[in-house]
Amino acid sequence: MIEPEQLNIFLHAAETLNFSTTAKQLHVSQPTVSKSILDLERKLKVTLFERSSGRIRLTDAGKTLQPWARKLIHQLHNLEDMMASLQTEVTGTLNIACSTTAGKYILPQLAARFRYRYPGIHVSILGCMPELVVHNLLEGEADLGVVSYEVANPGLECQEFFNDLITLIVPANHPWAFRHLVEPAELLTEPIIIREPTSGTRRVMLEELAKHDISLEALNIFLELGNAEAIVRTVASGYGISFVSTLATACPLERGNVVEISVSGMELRRTIYMARKALSASHRPQEAFWSFVHDPANLDLLRLAEST
């Protein structure tokens, strides 16, 4: 039978590609590392590392084993966490993958409150691209995911997290800064900074513009940026206008660097969702956070985007 420690040693060796370095990281001898790898290869009846002139590299079998070993170790940790949490308080680790700007503003504060209630749970928030959230959840690399769309995957379940408002911002010295409302057609005359294609903000913006027969090609795109904070700073410096989450504009607005403008006939609102793997083994830290999200005590945070 394969021992968890053998998989752990294999994973470290696969990362370092050096048995001596692996031994130092794990505080064991190099012969111990070599013997563990050799025993694992014998059990699996494959060669995991090619050894040549003092150097090693993963074989195809080793590359195949790597993600499986990582997943098995992760599941083992979850099992240990669950068993420990059954003794007294809820304990363990909770990894949350977050792909939205709005989530990055609210999620850390929510996690901080969660830690006060459950001090035995270690929370990690992992920033990632939207397309990686589903992968991380299905592969067990994340326990929860925050996305700007309702995930249509039979292996996952979703719940609404909060509503995010998107606003048009212009530089403080822009001619529109003294107006409360502009027409959609006026957007065509201005250099505009937009988010990357996978962004939920961009999707909502284009959906609303399409209602006014305005396509992406019709816009005067000045820049495409993958970060809301970078967009706000660029607009504040006088380089165009943009649509961003109201959460991202709060500090610059307080300093008077940008101004929010309403666009006639456009309601820029999106729902942020939280997802988790359906029918997965019980994981009390995940279950605790899933329920904690909509605790009445957290309504002020969940409504933050609408009141900014």
CATH number of the domain residue 22 falls in: 1.10.10.10
What pLDDT is attached to residue 281? 64
pLDDT tens, position by position, 92-143: 899 999 988 778 889 999 999 999 999 989 999 988 887 788 888 988 889 9
pLDDT tens, position by position, 132-157: 888 889 888 899 999 888 888 888 99
Closest to 278 measured CA to CA, from 158, 177, 156:
156
Strands (E), the chain: 49-52, 55-58, 92-98, 121-127, 144-147, 156-171, 181-182, 191-195, 220-225, 241-245, 258-263, 269-277
User: Among 35-39, 95-99, 210-214, 290-294, which range has the highest average pLDDT?
Assistant: 210-214
Listed in sequence order, the residues at least 6 apart from 199 whose beta carbon sits closer than 8 Å to its beta carbon are 130, 148, 226
Query: Are 117 and 137 found together in one domain?
Result: yes
How many Cα neighbours within 13 Å face the side chain of 244?
32
Query: Are 142 and 238 found together in one domain?
Result: no
| Average pLDDT rounded to a whole number, residues 202-218 | 94
Distance (Å, whole) CA 10 – CA 39: 11
Query: Are 153 and 286 found together in one domain?
Result: yes
Distance (Å, whole) CA 13 – CA 19: 6
Distance (Å, whole) CA 204 – CA 148: 10
Q: In this model, does residue 273 exceed pLDDT 80?
A: yes
pLDDT tens, position by position, 159-199: 999 888 999 999 999 999 999 899 999 999 999 999 999 88
Query: Are 63 and 108 found together in one domain?
Result: no
Q: Residue 117 sits in which domain range?
A: 89-162+271-307
Q: If pLDDT is split at 50, 70 and 90, which confidence band does 254 have?
A: low
Residue with tokens 């499986």: 68
Q: Are the beta carbons of 22 and 16 closer than 8 angstroms?
A: yes
Q: What is the CATH number of the domain that holds 231?
A: 3.40.190.290
Closest to 65 measured CA to CA, from 93, 40, 30:
40
Closest to 143 measured CA to CA, from 88, 87, 77:
77
Q: In this model, does residue 222 exceed pLDDT 60?
A: yes
Q: In this model, does residue 88 exceed pLDDT 70?
A: no
Mark which of 51, 68, 83 sits at the end of a domain.
Answer: 83
Q: If pLDDT is split at 50, 70 and 90, which confidence band does 226 have?
A: confident
Query: Are 9 and 99 found together in one domain?
Result: no
What pLDDT is attached to residue 182? 95
pLDDT tens, position by position, 48-87: 888 887 788 898 988 888 888 888 887 777 777 666 655 5
| Average pLDDT rounded to a whole number, residues 252-275 | 88
Per DSSP, the three-state class of 68 is: helix
Query: Are 214 and 236 found together in one domain?
Result: yes
What pLDDT is attached to residue 185? 95
Distance (Å, whole) CA 159 – CA 178: 40
Query: Are 167 and 257 found together in one domain?
Result: yes
Query: Are 225 and 237 found together in one domain?
Result: yes
| Average pLDDT rounded to a whole number, residues 250-258 | 79
| Average pLDDT rounded to a whole number, residues 272-298 | 86
Query: Are 246 and 277 found together in one domain?
Result: no
Q: Which two tokens stand for residue 143?
A: 């326990």
| DSSP for 191-239, written as a single string | EEEEE-TT-HHHHHHHHHHHTTT--GGGSEEEEEES-HHHHHHHHHTTS
Q: In this model, does residue 10 exceed pLDDT 90?
A: no
Query: Are 50 and 133 found together in one domain?
Result: no
